[in-house]
Amino acid sequence: MIFIHLRMEVHIISPFGFCSGVNNAIEMAKKARKSYSNGIYLLGMIVHNEDVVKELEKENMHIIDERKSNLLDELKKIPNGSIIIYSAHGHPYIYEEIAKKKNLIQIDATCPFVSLNLKEANEFEKGTTIYIGSKKHLEAASFYFNCPSSYFFDIDTFSFLRKGEKKPKHVITQTTLSEDEIEKAMEIIRKEYMEASLEKSVCFSTKSRQDAIKKLPNEYDAILILGSTYSSNTNKLASISIDKGFKTYRALNLEELKKLDLKGIKKIAVATGASTSKKTLEECSSYLESL
Ligand code: SF4
C-alpha cells in the first residue's frame, strides 16, 4: 500500500505585516537609538507585540510596560536628560508637562489616525462628543484624559463611564474596535441620544483586515490569527473569525504555533494583527507548509 502525504495548504490573508502606524513607531525608535547615546525609555509598549518590543530592548531601550507599571509613576523616575518615546497608541498630554520639567527629550510615535480622533473631537462643540473605547487600552485611556469634556462609552461593559452636560451629537471610536461591537454600542447610545451620529470609526488598517476575514469563503478547515493577546486589533480579528464559524487558532510566533494541535487541518488561512511582523508570518507559514 502506498501512503501519500499531502502537505497543508496555506493561504495568507492580505493585508499582512505591520500597519503604517506600527511601522512608523518602530522606525522612530530605531532612529532615536542611532541619533542619541542617552538612555531611551519607551513609555508604554510602543506597539502591542511582545516580540517587537523585545527586539527594541536588545537595542538597549528600556520598555515601561503599561500592564505591569503605572506610567505616570515610572515617568517621574526616569533620569533627567533621557529620551522618552510615547507609544503608537497615544499618551495623556499631562506626561509632556512632567517630561519638560525633567528636561527629557520627547519623541512622539503616536499614530496619525489616533491623533486625528482627538483633533476631530476638539473641532466639535465642546462637550458634544461621545467616545467609544476600552478604558483598559492606552489609546482610549489617553483620549479619556486628553478630552475631559467628552462622554466616554466603555466597550467592555457597554455602558457610559462618563457623561457631559450638553446633548451629545458626534460619536468617534477607538481605532481598533470591530464594526459589530460599534453597532451594538450605537444601538444603546441612540436609545438615550437620538441625535448622536457616528462620525469616525476604526482606521483603514483595522477595517481592511476585518473585512478580509469576513469575506473568506468557508472552504478553510481553520484560521490562524498571528499576534499578541494584548493587541486589540488582533483580538477583534479572532472574534470575527470565531463568529464566522471558523475553527480559530492563535499564536504570537512560531514557538507558540508549534505547541498547537493542528491534527486534521489540511487547508488553513493565516491572518496577522497590525503589529505582527512579516518575518513572523513567513516563519509560521513555512512551518505550516512543512506539515
Ligand atoms: S491599527 Fe490603525 S490606528 Fe493603530 S497603529 Fe495601525 S494604522 Fe494606526
**Grid coordinates of 198:** 457616528
Cβ of 21 closer than 6 Å to ligand 1, yes or no, is: yes
Residue nearest to atom 7 of ligand 1 (CA): 21
ipTM of the complex: 0.99
What's the pLDDT tens digit per position in 231-249? 999 999 999 999 999 999 9
Q: Are 106 and 86 in contact (CB under 8 A)?
A: yes
Residue nearest to atom 2 of ligand 1 (CA): 203
pLDDT score, position 2: 56
What's the pLDDT tens digit per position in 51-73? 999 999 999 999 999 999 999 99
What's the pLDDT tens digit per position in 165-185? 799 999 999 999 998 999 999
Spatial separation of the C-alpha atoms in residues 15 and 203, rounded to whole Å: 13
| Whether the predicted pLDDT of 95 surpasses 90 | yes
Residue with more model confidence, 110 or 6: 110
What's the pLDDT tens digit per position in 106-120? 999 999 999 998 898
**Grid coordinates of 188:** 444603546
Q: Are 21 and 113 in contact (CB under 8 A)?
A: yes
Q: Do the bridges between strand 61-64 and strand 83-86 make them parallel or antiparallel, or are there none, so unpaired?
A: unpaired
Instruction: Specify the ligand 1 atom closest to the Cα of 203.
Output: 2
Cβ of 110 closer than 6 Å to ligand 1, yes or no, is: no
Nearest residue to 208 via CA among 187, 231, 236, 185: 236
Q: At a CB cut-off of 8 Å and minimum separation 6, what does 252 contact?
A: 49, 50, 51, 226, 227, 228, 229, 280
Question: Which residue segments constitute the domains of the chain, with CATH numbers given?
Answer: 9-17+205-289 (3.40.1010.20), 20-110 (3.40.50.11270), 113-202 (3.40.1010.20)
Q: Is 75 helix (H, G, I), strand (E, B) or coil?
A: helix
Cβ of 174 closer than 6 Å to ligand 1, yes or no, is: no
**Grid coordinates of 112:** 496619525
Question: 129 falls in which pLDDT band (50, 70, 90)?
Answer: very high
pLDDT score, position 125: 86
CA 149 to ligand 1 centroid distance, Å: 24
